[in-house]
């Protein structure tokens, strides 16, 4: 069974939490992780690429020359795919790329992503993310205390912050932090965890996530 320290907003260790062995067992199912990430990326595609066939390109209604007697090839329209400004053969048309995968695969993928971050020591638990005012400066100070941000470093590691509840003030304070992705623990998915190098989660958020995956 894994145990992790719990930090407060000042970056001090205030408690220890035992992780649920059913969820945080160290197992990694890379096949499920791959399937879940590919499905997520496919579902994000808009599928708006479009080309016009010879029937959709404007013009070309008149036959360029008579069928016989000219010695030239027979042509019915100037919008033939063989001609410049003609239609496109077998080009892309708007389509839906999305597809569903089983819930068990999604759950296994999420477990795998969480265990990966845990194995890398990139999993931080904090008591509660408390701010007195909706200011980015205050939020950055807390992240600095947790050693997730430093003004000296030009490019920060991407951080996923998962919480139990996201109020208006907290949302305002965190929305301008470029390296931070914010989500509710009950809504997070494998792609989100793997797309960020570090995971920061509140105690209440961890309970939500554990209940969801048990």
pLDDT in tens, 40-83: 999 999 999 999 999 999 999 999 999 999 999 999 999 999 99
pLDDT in tens, 152-165: 777 889 999 999 99
Instruction: pLDDT band for 185, please (50, 70, 90 cuts).
Output: very high
Q: What token pair was written down for 89? A: 């053969």
Q: Which of 178, 172, 162, 182 minimizes the C-alpha distance to 138?
A: 172
Contact present, 181 and 196 (Cβ < 8 Å): yes
In this prediction, residues 14-18 reach a mean pLDDT of 92
- Cα separation, 115 vs 8, in Å, equals 23
In this prediction, residues 80-108 reach a mean pLDDT of 96
- Cα separation, 180 vs 204, in Å, equals 19
The confidence score (pLDDT) of residue 151 equals: 76
**CATH 3.40.1370.10 segments of the chain:** 3-35+100-213
What class does CATH assign to 3-35+100-213?
alpha beta
Model confidence at 10: pLDDT above 80: yes
Q: Is 201 helix (H, G, I), strand (E, B) or coil?
A: strand
């Amino acid at each position: 069974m894994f145990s992790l320290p719990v930090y407060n907003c000042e970056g001090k260790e205030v408690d220890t939490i035992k992780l649920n062995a059913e969820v945080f067992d160290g197992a990694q199912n890379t096949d499920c992780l791959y399937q879940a990430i590919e499905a997520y990326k496919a579902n994000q595609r808009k599928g708006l690429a479009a080309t016009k066939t010879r029937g959709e390109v404007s013009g070309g209604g008149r036959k360029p020359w008579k069928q016989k007697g000219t010695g030239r090839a027979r042509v019915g329209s100037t919008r033939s795919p063989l001609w410049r400004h003609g239609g496109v053969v077998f080009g892309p048309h708007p389509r839906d790329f999305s597809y569903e995968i089983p819930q068990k695969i999604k759950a296994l993928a999420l477990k795998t992503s969480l265990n990966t971050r845990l194995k890398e020591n990139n999993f931080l638990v904090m008591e509660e993310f408390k701010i007195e005012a909706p200011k980015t400066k205050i939020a950055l100070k807390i992240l600095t205390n947790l050693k997730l941000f430093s003004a000296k470093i030009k490019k920060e590691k991407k951080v996923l912050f998962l919480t139990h509840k996201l109020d208006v003030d907290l949302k305002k304070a965190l929305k301008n932090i470029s390296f931070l992705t914010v989500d509710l623990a009950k809504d997070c998915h494998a792609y989100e965890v793997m797309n960020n190098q570090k995971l920061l989660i509140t105690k209440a958020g961890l309970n939500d996530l554990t209940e969801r995956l048990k």
